[in-house]
Amino acid sequence: MEIDRSCTKFGPVWLAPGVSKSNALSLLYGAFFTIGLLTFIGIGTPYVLNAILMVPTDTQGGISGNLVFWTEITTLLIFGPVGLAADRIGRKSVYVFGFLTMGLGYALYPLAGSIFELTIYRIIYAIGVATSTGMLATIVVDYPQETSRGKLVAIVGAMNGLGVVFVNIFLGSLPERFVGNGMTEVAAGETVHWIVGGMCAVSAAILWFGLKDGLPAKHDDKPPLKDMTKSAVRLAIRNPRIALSYSAAFIARGDLVILGTFLTLWGTTAGMTNGQSVAEATDNSTKAFVLAQTAALVWTVVIVFFIDRFNRTGFLAFCMALAAIGYLGMGFVSDPTEAEAVPFVVLLGIGQISAFFGSQALVGQEAPIAERGAVVGGFNIMGAVGILFCSVVGGYLFDAVSPSATFIMVGAVNSVVLGFAIVVRMLSPGRMPSESGDAAAGGQH
């Protein structure tokens, strides 16, 4: 597609008409802090459960899983209204609302006096997260010209990863610092959550002044949900590679939840069992989480060099193998914050991001142009179902069996998808990424 050179160029990215460099910089700022700040919930929840609500450790897995469950249900319920609002009142306004709502959820979180109150505040947080991440994804589509879309997606992805690593390194260590300076653990937890809430408010202000004004240039006419669902199922039956991408989405999204929710919870409870304070245990568990995310970020730099050089189905099988190894390997770990656990935590981060990339690459190739919305919708629905499954079942296993059982369960499901991928690779491999043609016809068997 021809480049419109009358528009602004931002680094290697040609921007769409009307998009300025300051708009693009604001997008990158949003990419860094949206994902970075939303992941603090994985640190904050164990802290609130232990230091403020003093919940018994043998019930925290189920409670954490239920909190994730309600987060995902909220996301599914407001997905449609958020998209409608973005088209009617503009991306910027909705994005700012998302950041402010997420900040409100964080500010209220440490004030919870019961699990019921904590759940209500988690739902407020979830509204903010769903809104802000939805707008981030939408603006990434709006801002580049078609020829630069891949470049901007890669840059935004890198900013996401950097945000997760650097924001959590800074925030995760604050409770222990505050306690060391004389604060009680309750006051330290409240203060950190209020700092996060303040960062959300500041980010909302920066995006308000930095993002592009106005409504989108055009409105897409989307088919009814019923028709999209029928198309998603029909195409999965016709094309085994689409069915495989749905299966991969189920566990790839679940992988991320297990890592973000239960790794920090495991590290916190293990540290407290070993006599550490809640603040110290939180700091150490955050380091384990950051290590996994850093490994994922470094592996992203490696994987982009050969993601387009291999058959997508075979590449997904390779990714699922890495994910299975990473999660099953946690069965050999007794405490993820110990030095002996470092190789396993690194493999965990590599496996999680590999499953994400493999599933995204396959669905991107196989979704037919004429019905891409239906396939991507089915892909996202399966991802949501995977999160619901992994959060509830994983939380139960965390309490009833052991923390490592949660990870072993996810590794087992990754292994099943690996087997499916091998079968599809043998019987219906599909085209190479370098080959001409697209999935417009729905793919070949």
Residues 389, 241, single domain; the answer is yes
CA distance 70 to 160: 24
Short-list 52, 297, 327, CA closest to 169: 297
412 and 444 fall within a common domain: yes
Q: Are residues 67 and 194 in the same domain?
A: yes
Residue 230's CATH number: 1.20.1250.20
User: Domain range for residue 176?
Assistant: 20-215
CA atoms within 13 A on the CB side of 413: 23
Of the candidates 185, 215, 245, which is a domain's last residue?
Answer: 215
Same domain? For 143 and 169 the reply is: yes
Written in H, E and C, the secondary structure of the chain is CCCCCCCCEECCEEECCCCCHHHHHHHHHHHHHHHHHHCCHHHHHHHHHHHHCCCCHHHHHHHHHHHHHHHHHHHHHHHHHHHHHHHHHCHHHHHHHHHHHHHHHHHHHHHCCCHHHHHHHHHHHHHHHHHHHHHHHHHHHHCECHHHHHHHHHHHHHHHHHHHHHHHHHHHCHHHHHHHCCCCHHHHHHHHHHHHHHHHHHHHHHHHHHCCCCCCCCCCCCCCHHHHHHHHHHHHHHCHHHHHHHHHHHHHHHHHHHHHHHHHHHHHHHHHHCCCCHHHHHHHHHHHHHHHHHHHHHHHHHHCCCCCCCCHHHHHHHHHHHHHHHHHHHHHCCCCCCHHHHHHHHHHHHHHHHHHHHHHHHHHHHCCHHHHHHHHHHHHHHHHHHHHHHHHHHHHHHHHCCHHHHHHHHHHHHHHHHHHHHHHHHHCCCCCCCCCCCCCCCCCC
- Assess whether 233 and 341 both reside in one domain: yes
Measured between alpha carbons, how far is 382 from 378 in angstroms, rounded to an integer?
6
Q: Can you give 222-257 as a three-state secondary structure string? A: CCCHHHHHHHHHHHHHHCHHHHHHHHHHHHHHHHHH
Does 421 lie in the same domain as 319?
yes
pTM above 0.95, yes or no: no
Q: Does 14 map to a domain?
A: no
Residue that is last in its domain, among 155, 183, 215 = 215
- The answer to whether 197 and 104 are in contact (CB under 8 A) is yes
Number of domains in the chain: 2
Place of tokens 């690779």: 425
pLDDT in tens, the chain (445 residues): 577 777 888 888 888 888 899 999 999 999 999 989 998 999 999 999 999 999 998 899 999 999 999 998 998 888 778 877 877 888 899 999 999 999 999 999 999 999 999 999 999 999 999 899 888 888 887 788 867 766 787 788 788 888 988 888 889 889 999 999 999 999 999 999 999 999 999 999 999 999 988 766 555 555 565 666 677 778 778 888 888 988 998 888 776 678 888 999 999 999 999 999 999 999 999 999 999 989 988 888 888 777 667 788 888 999 999 999 999 999 999 999 999 999 999 999 999 888 888 887 787 777 776 666 677 778 878 888 888 998 999 999 999 999 999 999 999 999 999 999 999 888 877 777 555 444 433 444 3
74 with 155, same domain: the answer is yes
